């Protein structure tokens, strides 16, 4: 096992800024005294494969250089090898993407030198890890997440912007098109021993606070309490949604009459017609699915002021 950091850079993050800043980022890491190996991904899913291979070679400390998608791939790669207890894994981020919702929630600095200094300090805290299990005719698919998973409208919008290089801006730009074409599906949602069935606009299962490029959907979430903050928004008209969209960005969603918020260790979602799901902005398989938590399942490097949530 090595004590070096394995850094994965996504060159497409922020419209190619990560690629342009590669040498600058590496220099800042070196100046901070970080002992690291830097690799560059080349396609979707490559960051996961690179992290998985590094874990099999004895790496336990990882740096994701990019956005939420890069962080998610590195997380899944680090955990996929099975080479060590997940609680031995340490994950850090240098946020370069446009969304950076997980980094935003923990106030991780965007300045490369400051972020590198944070990594060099080596102070890590326990952080919950989410797991999305999708059950299909081909079997069970598992994907871990660090921030937010969901089904319904959020995953629908993600499906509209797959492959778009404009990151979070594409998500926001796709919202009007999503509003116009989306129909709230019937979902059966089970949590805390109760099941409800209704037409649902979206259901979020959050460890972090933000998603979708700055939407504050779970302002009271805690990253180490072993629970998901569940936000369920019932079927709403397009005009009603537009009139209340601000609530998604300013943290007032819990007070909305068509929103239901609860905490649970796991949630199951089923639908008569398959509904898309996503985790950390990465499109997954459709329902049925189960979302659960591995309490304090990984170590993360975040500023001291943001140690808990």
Query: pTM here?
Result: 0.91
Together in a domain, 159 and 281:
yes
- Residue 23, judged by CB atoms within 10 A of its CB (0-12, 13-18, 19+), counts as exposed
- Which pLDDT score is estimated for 1? 82
Together in a domain, 261 and 165:
yes
- Which pLDDT score is estimated for 306? 43
- Which pLDDT score is estimated for 308? 39
Looking at residues 167-190, what average pLDDT do you find?
72
Together in a domain, 182 and 286:
yes
Would the pLDDT of 4 be above 60?
A: yes
- Which pLDDT score is estimated for 154? 86
Together in a domain, 135 and 224:
yes
How many Cβ atoms from other residues are within 10 Å of residue 183's Cβ? 9
User: How many angstroms separate the CA atoms of 290 and 70, rounded?
Assistant: 23
Mind giving me the DSSP string for 111-129?
SHHHHHHHHHHT--EEEEE
| Mean pLDDT value across the chain | 89
Together in a domain, 287 and 153:
yes
Would the pLDDT of 95 be above 90?
A: yes
* 308 found inside a domain: no
Per-residue model confidence as pLDDT tens digits over 123-132: 899 999 999 9
Q: What percent of the chain has pLDDT over 70?
A: 90
Together in a domain, 134 and 190:
yes
Number of domains comprising the chain: 2
Q: What percent of the chain has pLDDT over 90?
A: 71
How many Cβ atoms from other residues are within 10 Å of residue 193's Cβ? 6
* 280 found inside a domain: yes
User: Hey, which residues does 170 pair with through a beta bridge?
Assistant: none
Together in a domain, 116 and 166:
no
Which letter does DSSP use for residue 88 in this model? G
Binned at pLDDT 50, 70 and 90, residue 166 comes out as: very low
Per-residue model confidence as pLDDT tens digits over 180-234: 678 899 999 999 999 999 999 999 999 999 998 888 999 999 999 999 999 999 9
User: How many angstroms separate the CA atoms of 214 and 217, rounded?
Assistant: 9
Binned at pLDDT 50, 70 and 90, residue 109 comes out as: very high
> Which CATH number fits the domain that encloses residue 231?
2.60.200.40
Would the pLDDT of 46 be above 80?
A: yes
Domain housing 241: 130-295
């Amino acid at each position: 096992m090595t004590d070096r950091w394995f850094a994965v850079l996504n060159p497409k993050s922020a419209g190619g800024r990560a690629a342009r800043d590669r040498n600058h980022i590496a220099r800042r890491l070196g100046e901070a005294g970080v002992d690291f190996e830097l690799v560059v991904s080349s396609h979707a899913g490559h960051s996961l494969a690179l992290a998985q291979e590094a874990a099999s070679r004895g790496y336990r400390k990882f740096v994701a250089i990019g956005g939420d998608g890069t962080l998610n791939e590195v997380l899944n790669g680090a955990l996929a090898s099975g080479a060590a207890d997940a609680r031995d894994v340490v994950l850090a981020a240098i946020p370069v993407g446009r969304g950076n919702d997980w980094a935003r929630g923990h106030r991780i600095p965007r300045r490369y030198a400051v972020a590198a200094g944070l990594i060099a300090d080596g102070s890590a805290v326990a952080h919950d890890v989410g797991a999305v299990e999708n059950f299909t005719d081909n079997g069970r698919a598992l994907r871990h997440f660090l921030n937010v998973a969901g089904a319904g409208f959020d995953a629908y919008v993600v499906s509209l912007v797959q492959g778009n290089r404009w990151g979070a801006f594409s998500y926001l730009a796709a919202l009007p098109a999503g509003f116009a074409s989306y129909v709230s599906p019937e979902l059966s949602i089970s949590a805390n021993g109760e099941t409800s069935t209704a037409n649902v606009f979206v259901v979020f299962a959050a460890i972090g606070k933000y998603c979708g490029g700055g939407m504050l959907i779970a302002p009271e979430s805690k990253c180490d309490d072993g629970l998901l903050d569940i936000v369920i928004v019932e079927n709403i008209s397009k005009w009603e949604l537009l009139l209340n969209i601000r609530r998604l960005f300013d943290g007032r969603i819990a007070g909305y009459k068509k929103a239901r918020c609860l905490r649970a260790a796991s949630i199951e979602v089923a639908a008569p017609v398959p509904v898309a799901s996503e985790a950390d902005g990465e499109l997954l398989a459709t329902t049925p699915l189960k979302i659960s938590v591995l309490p304090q399942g990984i170590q993360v490097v975040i500023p001291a002021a943001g140690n808990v949530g």
